């Protein structure tokens, strides 16, 4: 059982990590300084150093928290897709639910995805920490596609790479810079779902 002091310490650490995530979303890796995080979290520089050691320690803790959130949200999206299939919905509807969830997750976490997939490339401590999470998400996606859509391993992997590429694009470039046209999010999810189905249902294992 946590003591009141432990609970306060945990809440303070959560505020620091949330502040770091917000700064990453608003301004990228360059926006994250000890002073900026302390100010946003309503704490002191010394408290941050005491808790995380230095800026790298803070960023590594934020990375771990962010990818854990993404993994949890991904698992929840697949649970909803499973429920849709169990309720008698078509595979296309389940794929649409997954595509919509993926787009939402990529949008909500674009700051941390940009920071830890792009801006920290070449820094081993960040690459080594993100890799297991990405592999776990890949395994979740590909196993579901194989189990529920009958996709071959290669087709399931191709579908995962489609989703990952969309997420990487959103992390790298704002939508308004990609094209002047606006795209309804539901229509986007529908198009992504059709692409996933096209890739997975043309595999030999799906026939």
Position 7 pLDDT exceeds 70: no
Is residue 198 very low, low, confident or very high in pLDDT (cuts 50, 70, 90)? very high
- pLDDT tens, position by position, 144-187: 999 988 899 999 999 999 988 887 887 777 766 677 777 788 88
- Report whether 34 contacts 49 (CB < 8 A): yes
CATH of 1-53, one of 3.90.1150.10, 2.170.190.11, 1.10.1060.10, 1.10.10.60: 1.10.10.60
pTM of the model: 0.84
Does the structural domain 61-206 have CATH classification 3.40.1030.10?
A: no
Give the tens place of pLDDT for each residue, 29-75: 999 999 999 999 999 999 999 999 999 999 999 999 999 999 999 99
> What whole-number percentage of the chain has pLDDT above 70?
91
Over the range 55-94, which residues count as b (16 or more CB within 10 Å of their CB) and which as e?
eeebbbbbbebbbeebbebbeebbeebeebeeeeeebeeb
Residues of each domain in the chain carrying CATH 1.10.357.10: 61-206
Residue 206: per-residue pLDDT: 43
Which pLDDT band holds residue 200 (cuts at 50, 70, 90)? confident
* Confidence grade of residue 1 (pLDDT, cut at 50, 70, 90): low
Phi, psi of 205 (to 5 degrees): -70, -15
Residues of the chain with CATH 1.10.10.60: 1-53
CB of 19 closer than 8 Å to CB of 37: yes
């Amino acid at each position: 059982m946590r003591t009141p002091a432990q609970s306060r310490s945990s809440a303070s650490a959560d505020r620091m990590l949330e502040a770091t995530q917000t700064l990453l979303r608003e301004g990228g890796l360059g926006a994250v300084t000890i002073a900026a995080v302390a100010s946003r979290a309503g704490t002191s520089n010394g408290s941050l150093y005491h808790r995380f050691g230095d800026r790298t320690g803070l960023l590594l803790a934020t990375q771990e928290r962010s990818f854990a959130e993404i993994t949890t949200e991904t698992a929840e999206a697949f649970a909803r897709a499973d429920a849709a299939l169990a309720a008698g919905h078509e595979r296309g509807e389940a794929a649409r639910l997954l595509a919509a969830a993926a787009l939402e997750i990529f949008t909500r976490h674009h700051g941390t995805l940009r920071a830890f997939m792009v801006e920290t490339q070449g820094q081993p401590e960040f690459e080594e920490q993100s890799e297991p999470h990405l592999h776990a998400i890949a395994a979740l996606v590909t196993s579901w596609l194989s189990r529920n859509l009958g996709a071959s391993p290669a087709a399931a992997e191709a579908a995962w790479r489609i989703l990952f590429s969309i997420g990487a694009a959103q992390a790298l470039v704002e939508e308004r810079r990609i094209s002047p046209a606006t795209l309804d999010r539901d229509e986007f999810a529908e198009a992504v779902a059709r692409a996933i189905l096209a890739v997975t249902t043309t595999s030999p294992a799906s026939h």
